[in-house]
Amino acid sequence: MKIKYIWLLLIFIGFIACDEEDYSIPDTSVELVSGSADFSNYVAIGNSLTSGFTDGALFQAGQNNSLPNILSQNMSLIGGGEFSQPFTNDNIGGLLLGGAQIQNPRLYFDGAGPALIDAIPTTEVSSINPGPYNNMGVPGVKAIHLLANGYGNIAGLASGLANPYFVRMASSSNASVLEDAMAQNPTFFSLWIGHNDVLGYAATGGDGSDPITDQATFDFAYSTLVSTLTSGGAQGVVANIPNVIEAPFFTTVPYKSLDPSNPAFGPMIPTLNALFGQLNMAYAYLDVPERSIVFSETAASPMVIHDESLANISAQLNQVLIGGGLDPITAGLLSNQFGQSRQATSDDLFVLTSMNVIGTLNTEYYTQLVTAGVPQETAGQLSVNGITYPLQDKWVLLKTEQQEVVAATNSFNVKINELVTQAGLAFVDANELMSRLATTGISSRGFDFNANLVFGGVFSLDGLHLTARGSALIADEMLKAIDATYGSNFEAASELNDLGEFPVFYPTGLR
C-alpha cells in the first residue's frame, strides 16, 4: 500500500501566485550606486543552495536561476563582470560515472507529489570541464570539504574523498574548492555554508550514518574560509545556517498518515487491532501502556515507529506473550519486532522520502522472515512499513534528535556571527528568515511566502532546496545587507528583483 498525498493535488490546482504586479520598475529619481563595494569580480562559494540545485537535482534551468547568478545580474548594473557557472548538459539533472547513473534526474509534480522525470541523465562526471568558475557552489559539501585538496580527484570518488560535482569542475585533481575560488582574485564574494554539517544527520533520521560535524572542526573550517576569502581585501556577504528541520523535507509528511478511507488500509483495521490486542495487554502488564498500538476506523492513525531511545523489552515481552498463551514462534516474532516500538506522536518528524515507504512491503524484512521459515502470508502481514513493521530510524527524527540539530545549528551560528562581525562583512540572518517562513510567513514585493512544500514559494519539490523564486527572495535579502554594510542602494533605487519573473515550477517536459 503506497500512501499518496492527494491534498497536494488539490493545493496544486488552487495554487495561484500572489499579486503579479511588476515591482522591478526602477525609481529613476534615485541613481544606483555601489557605495564602497567592488563587484567587478564576484565569486560565490557554498553548497547546493549556491549551485542552483533544485527539485532534487542540478540542471541548467536551476543553474540559470541560481542565487549567485541572480546576484551577479544585479551587480552587473554597477560594475559587476561576467559570471561563469559549471553548467550541466541539459535540464534532466542527475549524473553518470562511466555511463552508470550515480545521481537521479530531477523531480516533477505528478499530481500527487514529487516524482522523478522519465529520463536518463546525460551529464558524465568524467567529462571534466576545469574551472575555476565564479559559481563555486558544490552540492553536498560540508564546511571542511571546501578546504580539502583532492576533493575534485575522480580517483577519490569510490572512497568518498571526492565529490562528483567538484570533480567535473575542479581546475586540477589536487585543487580545493577554496583554492579555485581564490585563484580568481575575487573583489567580492558570497559565502553560504554549513547546512550539510547538520542536515546530513537530520536527513538520515539521526541514525548515526552521517553525524553532526563537531564544533572544533566547524570553527576551524569557517575561520579559515573567512580569513582566506578576505585576505586580499575582498568584501563579501555571508548568510548563516537556517534551522533545517523547519524545511518541508521534515514537516510535510504527517505523523498520522494512516487513513481509514484508504482501501488498502481501512479494511485491515479490525484484523490489525485484533493482532495488536494481545500485544497491548502485554504492554499493560509490563507497565508500558503508552506503547500500545491501536488504529482508528474513523480518523487517521499515527504510524508505528522504532524508537531507539526506548528501553528494549523484547525479552520480557516474549515471556509475557508466551504466558498469555501465544506459541513460542509467534511470541518470538512479535517480541523482537515490537520490543522498542510505539505509535508516532506530533513530536516526531518524518523525512519527505518516507512518503514512498509508508504502507509498502519491507522486502528485506519479509525475505528475512521467509528465510527463517515463516510462512509467506504471515511474513507479508508482519512486514508492512509503518503499520506492522515499525518504521525504521532513518525515516524518523525523534524529538531528542531534533534538539541535537537545533543546538548544533545555534552553536555554529554563534561562530559565524563572531567571524562576520570581526571581518566587517554584510550579513543575512537566514536562521531568523527560516523561522519567520515556518511561523508567520513572509510578504515581499507582492508575494506571500511560507515554508510549505513548493506552494510556499520558497522550497522546491525536494523539500530542502530553493525554487528560483526562493533564490530571488534570498538574493534580495543579500542585496539589502550589502546596502546596509557597503553603502550601495539597490533597494532605494528599486533594483531588487521582480519575483514574478522567477518560476516556482519547471515544466515536466523541460529538456
Instruction: Report pLDDT digits (tens) over 29-65.
Output: 799 999 999 999 999 999 999 999 999 999 999 999 9
Residues 336 and 412 in one domain: no
pTM of the predicted structure, to 2 decimals:
0.93
Region 97-114 average pLDDT: 92
* pLDDT value at 20 more than 50: no
Handedness of CA 168, 174, 178, 181 (dihedral sign): negative
The answer to whether residue 510 sits within a structural domain is no
The strand pair at 304-306 and 341-343 is best described as antiparallel
- pLDDT, position 301: 98
* pLDDT reported for residue 28: 59
Q: What is the reported pLDDT for 22?
A: 44
* Residue 4 confidence (pLDDT): 43
pLDDT at residue 29 in the model: 79
Q: Are residues 197 and 287 in the same domain?
A: no
| 507 within a domain of the structure (yes/no) | no
Q: 312: Cβ–Cβ under 8 A, 6 or more apart, which residues?
A: 339, 340
CB 248 within 8 A of CB 463: yes
Return the axis-axis angle of helices 430-438 and 468-486, rounded to nearest 10°. 140
Mean pLDDT, the chain, rounded, equals: 93
Predicted pLDDT of residue 445 = 86
Does residue 226 surpass a pLDDT of 50?
yes
pLDDT confidence band for 5 (50 / 70 / 90): very low
**111 and 182 within one domain:** yes
> Is the per-residue pLDDT at 21 higher than 90?
no
Residue where one domain finishes, among candidates 397, 431, 463: 397
| CATH code: domain of residue 170 | 3.40.50.1110
Considering the domain architecture, whether residues 328 and 421 belong to the same structural domain is answered as no
Average pLDDT (454-465) is: 95
The pLDDT score that the predictor gives to residue 291 is: 98
Determine the pLDDT at residue 408: 98
The SS3 assignment for 113 reads coil
- Look at residue 510 in the predicted model and tell me its pLDDT: 77
- The cell numbers describing 302, all together, are 499515527
All three cell numbers of 43 = 565569486
Return the percentage of the chain with pLDDT > 70, whole number: 94
Provide the pLDDT for residue 27: 54
- Cβ pair 443, 449 in contact under 8 A: yes
Query: How do 426-428 and 396-397 pair as beta strands?
Result: unpaired
Question: Within this chain, do residues 234 and 315 fall inside the same structural domain, yes or no?
Answer: no
Asked if residue 115 and residue 142 are part of one domain, the reply reads yes
Cα gap 86→51, rounded to integer Å:
9
Q: Which of 370, 397, 424 is the last residue of a domain?
A: 397
Q: Do 213 and 84 lie in a common domain?
A: yes
pLDDT at 18 over 70: no
pLDDT digits (tens, 9 = 90+) for 352-411: 999 999 999 999 999 999 999 999 999 999 999 999 999 999 999 999 999 999 999 999
**For 195-223, how does the pLDDT look when each residue is reduced to its tens digit (9 = 90+)?**
999 999 999 999 999 999 999 999 999 99
Identify whether residues 284 and 218 lie together within a single domain. Answer: no
Under DSSP, the state recorded for 450 is: E
Is 373 a domain residue? yes
Within a domain: 243: yes
Question: In the prediction, which pLDDT does 110 show?
Answer: 85
Give the distance, in angstroms, between the CA of residue 452 and the centroid of all CA atoms in the same chain.
13
Has residue 374 been placed in a domain?
yes
Tell me which of 237 and 507 has the higher pLDDT: 237
* Domain C-terminal end among 380, 397, 414: 397
Do residues 301 and 154 share a domain?
Answer: no
Whether residue 221 is found in the same domain as residue 310 = no
The phi, psi pair for 137, rounded to 5°, reads -80, 125
Residue found by looking up cell 526506548 in the block: 310
CA distances from 58 to 4, 114, 286, 511 (A): 26, 16, 52, 13
Whether the predicted pLDDT of 96 surpasses 90: yes
Task: Report whether 242 contacts 465 (CB < 8 A).
Answer: no
Helix (H, G, I), strand (E, B) or coil at 6: helix
**Same-domain status, 170 and 246:** yes
The reply to whether 26 falls in a domain is yes
pLDDT for 9: 45
Q: Give, for 188, the enclosing helix (H) or strand (E).
A: strand 188-192
- Inside any domain, residue 508: no
Is there a domain that residue 425 lies in?
Answer: yes
Helix (H/G/I), strand (E/B), else coil: 183: coil
**Domains held by the chain: number:** 2
| CA atoms of 19 and 263, how far apart (whole Å) | 41
112 pLDDT band (50/70/90 cuts)?
A: confident
Task: Verify that 358 and 324 share a domain, yes or no.
Answer: yes
Residue ranges making up the domain that contains 113: 6-252+402-501
